Amino acid sequence: MKVYTITVNPSLDYVVSLDLLHLGEVNRAQEAKLFAGGKGINVSQVLTQLDVDNCALGFIGGSTGQELLQQLNQKKIKSDFTTIIEKTRINVKVKANQETELNASGPKISMQEQHTFKTKLTQLTPDDIVVMSGSLAKGLPDDFYFQLIDLVNEQGSQFVLDTSGQSLLDCLAKKPLMVKPNHHELADIFNTTLTTQAEIIAHGQKLQKMGAQNVIVSMAGEGAYLITEDAVYYAKPLAGEVINSVGAGDSMVAGFVGTYSQTQDTVAAFKMGVACGSATAFTEDIATEPQINQQLKRVEIIEI
Amino acid sequence: MKVYTITVNPSLDYVVSLDLLHLGEVNRAQEAKLFAGGKGINVSQVLTQLDVDNCALGFIGGSTGQELLQQLNQKKIKSDFTTIIEKTRINVKVKANQETELNASGPKISMQEQHTFKTKLTQLTPDDIVVMSGSLAKGLPDDFYFQLIDLVNEQGSQFVLDTSGQSLLDCLAKKPLMVKPNHHELADIFNTTLTTQAEIIAHGQKLQKMGAQNVIVSMAGEGAYLITEDAVYYAKPLAGEVINSVGAGDSMVAGFVGTYSQTQDTVAAFKMGVACGSATAFTEDIATEPQINQQLKRVEIIEI
């Protein structure tokens, strides 16, 4: 099985560090660096660390797109992006006394460019898994992910759409390989509050019955559940200092999908998902293979 | 005569517009655009508008350097940059309730890269004028401009170093074609206050006697003086709403040097300098040829 990740609106992240950001003034940065950013790209980065056959798809354009591609190449992340005329956006992240972000909306993607991209998906096989995550770029139709899901399903491939709220509910009928709301998102979906383990599991099972093959409910410092058609599993939380929650969700998706693609073992996939999510949360950047394997040894799964 | 402009530390300016910038939050930009920036590049842009034979020199590197080059090509600005390994910096300009800037220090430039650049200057002829302006990049020696001035003088070419304070004083012995302090900078240089016309002219004449071939003293809304070896001229201020003072000084340099390179007529050069400076001050961007010519008709020069 091969995994494809889709990042429709990737970014170059320009991380600028200084002591204090003064509004209305000229500030001098101590350090400034460009990084490739995007949720699907994070997933591909972790998959590459785990040595899972994968390919990053999406749209890139202009000199910023070329820079992004170069950064992926440096990290040995395989990709097959569709080139667009407008430039890949730059998001500015200011690391000062407070962390301030300035996100651009991203390039327009023409009908022709969308068509070129979709054509790639017609080459998928039933052995493939497609992971979609991140915001839609400007000018893409609201139902773009759903158009892609239909294409993926037509080829008999599996898909994961990393989203929440109504979009998550809407995709259930398309039989996603996995959905992964946290317990707050799960409560919001059903417009309720969830306090007990029994309540959380019951509502996770609702998502499963509505079409999700697997439901992971993460609860940050309180572990996570995996709900399958047949069983419920619980992963104990891993002790550690959370340094960075950005990319932890993407890492969990990568861990699950990566191991699933190699073993078709849902519980092993869940275990790797928990290890990857925790490993990234415990480091400043997306976790590396040694960091992931260190956490993997610590994950305990029990059937409930 | 041909004009060369030098921008040792050019930038890609990332101009991000939004209503309000909230510190410590994720802000969404309404618009975000990349522009080529740098004082010498501004001079080249105006020279190109005035159809003056010119070439932009300096250092560019990485994908950001390539983007900068592409932007110059789009504006038909001729250039011969020295390619460096590190990336050209990105400066962020946030246009919100307040204008906030985030400037990066710029790339390191190796000894080999400095050497490659200097070799270009050995090709200059006595018919050439070299304009140097803007901050030094990281790792360049403090006396880098002075090393360049010596090279320029060795070829018998003319130079303009657009600077202030001690650097301005220091370059006088090298006989610059022109220096252009404003009246505040002129007062600072001599650690005094200048209130009357006679005082301003007398101190401008000091700079002339110390080595500057021509001294322009600009006084924003109160016009400007040109002090030559033989005479003093006054340009009346042009009425108009100042929209943008950024680039006005660079435009003045371009106007002076451009017309001087074509006519060797110092007074005509002064007149064009005033027209270009005012035209840029009256518009949002660097002035275009029609805007400059509109102001040129209005400039009145009187000999004092």
- Residue-wise pLDDT for A134-176, tens only, equals 888 777 898 999 999 999 999 999 999 998 888 899 999 999 9
CB A159 within 8 A of CB A177: yes
Q: How far apart are CA A88 and CA B13, in angstroms?
A: 16
Per-residue confidence (pLDDT) for residue A71, from 0 to 100: 96
Q: Does B99 touch chain A (CB under 8 A)?
A: yes
pLDDT of the residue at A167: 86
Which single residue is written with the structure tokens 């932009």?
A: B56
> Which chain B residues have a beta carbon less than 8 Å from that of A100?
21-25, 27
Give the closest residue to A235 by CA, choosing from A256, A208, A259, A212. Answer: A256
Q: Given CB atoms, is A28 within the 8 Å cutoff of chain B?
A: yes
Q: State the nearest Cα–Cα gap between A12 and chain B, in angstroms.
A: 12
- Rounded Cα distance between B93 and B64, Å, is 16
Residue whose C-alpha is closest to residue A44's, from A88, A79, A1, A9: A79
Question: What fold does the segment set B2-7+39-85+106-303 form as a domain?
Answer: UDP-N-acetylmuramoyl-L-alanine:D-glutamate ligase (3.40.1190)
Measured distance CA(B23)–CA(A109) in Å, rounded: 31
* CA A46-A50-A52 angle, 5° bins: 95
Give the ipTM of the model, two decimals please: 0.84
Catalytic residue (choose from B170, B188, B250, B285): B250
The per-residue DSSP string of A101-166 comes to: EEE-------HHHHHHHHHHHTT--TTEEEEEESPPPTTS-TTHHHHHHHHHHHTT-EEEEE--HH
Query: What is the predicted pLDDT for the residue at A244?
Result: 79
B135 touches chain A (CB under 8 A): no
Rounded Cα distance, B189 and B192, in Å: 8
Residue found under tokens 């010596």: B150
Give the pLDDT band (50/70/90) at residue A98.
confident
Partners of B28 on chain A (C-beta within 8 Å) are 103, 105
What's the confidence (pLDDT) of residue B166?
A: 86
pLDDT lower than 70: segments of chain B: none
From A18's Cα to the closest Cα of chain B, the distance in A is: 9
Both tokens assigned to A192: 């309720």
Choose the mutation target among B11, B63, B103 for the interface with A, i.e. most A CBs under 10 Å: B63
CA nearest to A67 within chain B:
B63
Cα within 13 Å of Cα(B44), Cβ side = 30
Read off the pLDDT of each residue in A6-22 and give the average, rounded to a whole number.
94
Q: Tokens standing for A228?
A: 């399958």
Shortest CB distance from A25 goes to which of B62, B64, B100? B100
Closest-CA residue of chain A to B61: A67
Cα A173 to Cα A208: distance, rounded to the nearest angstrom: 10
pLDDT at B34: 94
Is A250 marked active-site?
A: yes
Q: How many residues does chain A have?
A: 304
Q: A232 by DSSP, 3-state: which? A: strand
CATH number of A2-8+38-87+105-303: 3.40.1190.20
Nearest chain A residue to B99, by CA: A24
Determine, for residues A70 and B63 on separate chains, whether the beta-carbon distance falls below 8 Å.
yes
